[in-house]
Homo-oligomer: A and B are copies of this chain.
Amino acid sequence: MSVTAAAGFRAAGVAAGLKSTGALDVALIVNDGPRSDAAGVFTSNRAKANPVLWSEQALAGGSARAVILNSGGANCFTGAFGFQTTHQTAERVAERLGIGAIEVQVCSTGLIGVGDETFRQGVLAGVEGCADALAHDSADDAAALRAAQAIMTTDSVPKQAIAHGADPATGDGYTVGGMAKGAGMLAPGLATMLVVLTTDAVADADVLDRALRAATRVTFDRLDSDGCMSTNDTVLLLASGASGATADEAGLTAAVTQVCDDLAQQLQLDAEGASHDITIEVRQAASEDEAVVVARSVARSNLFKAAIFGNDPNWGRVLAAIGTTDAAFDPYAVDVSFNGVRLCHAGEPDRPREEVDLAPRATHIVIDLFAGDATASIRTNDLTHDYVHENSAYAS
């Protein structure tokens, strides 16, 4: 139960031949209204894929009635032909749904440079298949699941989440649901990550936009699996208003954040080749921004990440990483704990490393800077043989 959990939404997922395995590869989400307010957050990479270039423009008016998504090709660096493919895809969806092309968001994921005539025909066939499928049981959990499966690339499982909110004036409830894909290249500014969130709350586009940005800032933006940033990242939030419940901004932000946090954790747990799910928590930082910078420096240290793979509580690599930042703290006055065992205190060895058990997947690093009262955490993964294998063999 995810993108169809909120009233007013239908979904479809079909196999259009874009994946050589014959798996589902094109998904369509439709907002039947009565309202069509929408917001989006897109990759901050300057190299933006054609669907991102389209969708950012199309969403400028704060409205969207459908999202078409495909795996099996990123349609990035595919030139004017690739942009025409995106445009034609939106036009085809619009024709089938009887709406304007400008109300169609387009998302693609897969290899950069893939976007030839075969790809175009595959996506267009997928549009037809999805539009046909909408006639049958398209508002149920099974349809939502098919959509979530159709956007998977190296993901091993589909990712879905749901949360609830209520109109503070009337007590009437509303739902926020979402689906996500992404199993590598996770980094700030999003990641090879596609996320579609739906809600039946009544909310203006500017409220949706602020709620979505507040939510992604503390969830997806703090998931940094391998430091790489994708050209196709897109997070969309569509509101149908079908519940009749008006969302206040704080309540909507909380519900959207809950769904994003759930999905971000699912993305972390399914990161390519990972054997540890690592939370790096920085405490007593001078500011939240500095806490994020310090945590991220550790999350990006290949030496630290390889050590965790080897169940090695190598606190020296943590200190070497944080020493590269400009954050306010005394490098010789910090504490570092691994899974509750303080290995470094005031810049010197503390408890014996043998006390740390790194066998469980869940790994919790706490870095105490003694420089203020701000806290933040970054989620990351270890650097494993399987990561190298998956990412050296992906294109072949």
Contact = CB atoms under 8 A, between A and B. Distances in A.
A34 interface: no
A344 interface: yes
A396 interface: yes
Given A309-B392, A315-B113, A383-B388, A348 B77 contact: yes
Nearest to A348: B79
Q: For the complex formed by this chain, how many copies does it contain in all?
A: 2
A290 interface: no
A227 B302 contact: yes
Interface string A383-395: 1110111011111
Contact of A310 (B314, B315, B392): B392
A184 interface: yes
A331 interface: yes
A374 to B, nearest CB: 19
A391 B45 contact: no
A367 to B, nearest CB: 12
Contacts of A319: 47, 76-77, 112, 231
A185 B320 CA distance: 10
Given A320-B45, A396-B312, A302 B385 contact: no
Q: Do most interface residues of chain A lie in helix, strand or loop, or is the interface mixed?
A: loop
A166 interface: no
A78 B231 contact: no
Nearest to A43: B323
Kindly name the residue among A46, A48, A184, A396 whose own CB sees the greatest number of chain B CB atoms within 10 A.
A46
A269 interface: no
A355 to B, nearest CB: 14
B79 A347 contact: yes
B392 A323 contact: no
Interface string A106-148: 0000011100000000000000000000000000000000000
Nearest to A232: B320
Given A47-B331, A112-B317, A226-B302, A395 B77 contact: no
B111 A78 contact: no
Contacts of A307: 391-392, 394-395
Given A47-B319, A228-B301, 10 more contacts: A45-B323, A47-B322, A47-B323, A48-B323, A48-B331, A77-B347, A112-B319, A227-B301, A231-B319, A383-B391
7 contacts: A77-B349, A78-B349, A111-B316, A226-B302, A228-B303, A302-B383, A312-B393
